[in-house]
Amino acid sequence: MNGVSIFTTDLAKYSSLAILGTACFVCQEIPDELMRCQKCKRMSYCSAACRAEDFESHEMICSLLQLAPTSTSSSKRREIFEREDPAHDLELDISLLFTAQDKTFREMMVERGNRVYTRAHRDLLLYEPRCAICLRSADDMRTLYDPEYNSLLHCPDCRAAFACSEDHRAQYRDEHSQQVENGEGLTECEMNKRAYEYSLEIVARGWTPMVTLWFPMRRRTEYSPLPSSWQEWFADPSNLSPPDSSQILNKIRTRQLSIPMSILHGMELFDKADADLSSLLTRTELEIVVLGAMEYELLFDGSACFEELLHNLPSVRRLILRFVGPNVRFGMIGPDGTLKEALDWDLCTLCKEKGVELKTSTHPDLYHEYVKERIAQAATGDGPAFEWPDIAVLFNSGLSLNYYKAEWSPTLDMLAESGVPTLCSSFLERESVEDESCLESHRCNIVIKRHKNPWRSEVLMKMVLTRKQFFTYNGFIQGFRGLKERG
């Protein structure tokens, strides 16, 4: 659906507004007047001193930021924007524009001998300011209409909502002041200000993934049902919350902790829905397949958080994790090549002492193709007998989107026919409704009704490439097991 930028070391240096160009890229402050680079027109500074401090780094990417938009011809861009489609209908077009720019930017960096393409570089393209009404960027305005056009107008309050003209700013003013979905009762303007405040604390404290990645170093002696909220979970002394914790830091930590906690939540609900079947929570061996796996499940030691399953399920002696999906490679490749931690990691001392075994594997295939290949290999004696997993998980899959339906449809049919308990999460409520309709069209027997996930990430993220909306990882959740009877 949308490119997703998750917390990285780079983002421990830059606030949300610095990436948007409405705060100083060096000190993150908002002075009365910003000095914008007049070449790329993307980076801003509060003073000559800050601009000088960033000179060497900026010189490396300034020309690239100017050239990246040329990856799509002006005639193609004119065709997109002069259709005058509603902004929502332009999402795919804008996504393709970004993909082309991203590819060009990477290639030019390599050509110039700089192989380090960081998330901060990508975010300058991913979060390029666009008009809330027509989705044109400042570069689109210069290329298509006025070569002297400087920059988009921004909301003077939050500095994170944009318009290409006073007319479009007036059109968007009321909507900008309305409550947004997943906004906890806040308006888009208020949410933008909160995002900036959070990012400032991240920068001020110098938090990196090694700080924010955390899960309790303890093993339970028996399974304890999950509490009702993150607040209760962090307050539980047995979870050994670190002394350096703060409300914002704990919210950031829920982004990765949402992975194992959502799975445990789903396992509890599957057991409750099918009490006559063998309990998932009491298995001695547990195999989990993560479908459509990408960087969320693998990068920045996200995969290590799966160990929290072992800490909560004392009966499990062997945990098998299979990450399957064509984009799994994006979760394994870093600036210096393959990331070993995305493929393997050491268990904690407590798990080692208990003799627990953890096995992981990655498979860059569509799941139905992966299954057919494993069954064929078993039939010819080239591989072991194929066994269905104990549970399948689709995190924020976008399975109902037209762009992905052809890929997901055969997999959904296979999972339903085989009876594998399958958990599906979504960023937004409207996506979860669309996912529910998609599952029903495949006769999936929905046993976990669609609901707001109590173990969703508490970090509200700004959507990219589109004009508004915030989302949370695993915001809504539902699950199916087997086929629904006809009639």
**Cα distances (Å, whole numbers) of residue 328 to 119, 229, 295, 307, 364:** 18, 31, 7, 19, 6
Return the sign of the alpha-carbon dihedral for residues 158, 161, 162, 167: negative
Q: What is the CA radius of gyration of the chain?
A: 24
- Residue 415 bridge partners (DSSP): none
Q: Cα separation of 431 and 402, whole Å?
A: 12
Backbone angles phi, psi at 451, to 5 degrees: -160, 160
Per the CB < 8 A criterion, the answer to whether 278 and 268 are in contact is: no
The residue type found at 326 is P
Own/partner pairs for 103-109, CB < 8 Å, 24+ apart? Answer: 103/71, 104/67, 104/68, 104/70, 104/71, 105/64, 105/65, 105/68, 108/64, 108/67, 108/68, 109/61, 109/64
Taking only the tens place, the pLDDT of each residue in 316-351 is: 999 999 989 887 765 555 545 454 444 566 788 888
Helices (H), 68-118: 74-81, 91-111
CATH superfamily of 209-483: Vaccinia Virus protein VP39 (3.40.50.150)
* Residue 291: predicted pLDDT: 94
* Residue 463: predicted pLDDT: 74
* Closest by Cα among 481, 429, 422, 485 to 456: 429
Backbone angles phi, psi at 349, to 5 degrees: -60, -40
Backbone angles phi, psi at 321, to 5 degrees: -120, 125
Burial classification of residue 344, based on how many CB atoms lie within 10 Å of its CB (0-12 exposed, 13-18 middle, 19 or more buried) = exposed
DSSP output for 206-233: T--HHHH--------SS-----SSHHHH
Task: Specify the 3-state DSSP secondary structure of 387.
Answer: coil
Task: Specify the 3-state DSSP secondary structure of 192.
Answer: helix
Q: Cα separation of 229 and 227, whole Å?
A: 6
Burial classification of residue 21, based on how many CB atoms lie within 10 Å of its CB (0-12 exposed, 13-18 middle, 19 or more buried) = buried
Q: Cα separation of 424 and 450, whole Å?
A: 9
The residue type found at 154 is H
Which residue do the tokens 């990436």 mark? 19
**Per the structure block, which two tokens stand in for 208?**
């990196």
**Cα distances (Å, whole numbers) of residue 181 to 5, 175, 380, 430:** 19, 12, 52, 9
* Closest by Cα among 393, 478, 464, 473 to 428: 473
Helices (H), 180-334: 188-205, 209-212, 230-235, 247-273, 295-298, 307-312
Cα separation of the two ends of the chain = 33
Which residue do the tokens 């990508």 mark? 122
Q: Where are the domains of the chain?
A: 10-205, 209-483
Give the total residue count for the chain. Answer: 487
Q: Which residues of the chain have pLDDT under 50?
A: 1-10, 335, 337, 339-342
Residues 6+ apart with CB under 8 A from 154: 20, 22, 129, 160, 161, 162
**Cα distances (Å, whole numbers) of residue 400 to 152, 198, 267, 428:** 34, 32, 23, 12
User: Does the model's pTM come out above 0.75?
Assistant: yes
Which residue do the tokens 């917390």 mark? 7
| ∠ Cα 324 325 330 (to 5°) | 110
Report the C-alpha dihedral over residues 274, 478, 397, 176, rounded to 10 degrees.
-170
Helices (H), 422-466: 429-441
Helices 247-273 and 188-205 pack at an angle, to 10 degrees, of 110
Helices 55-67 and 91-111 pack at an angle, to 10 degrees, of 130
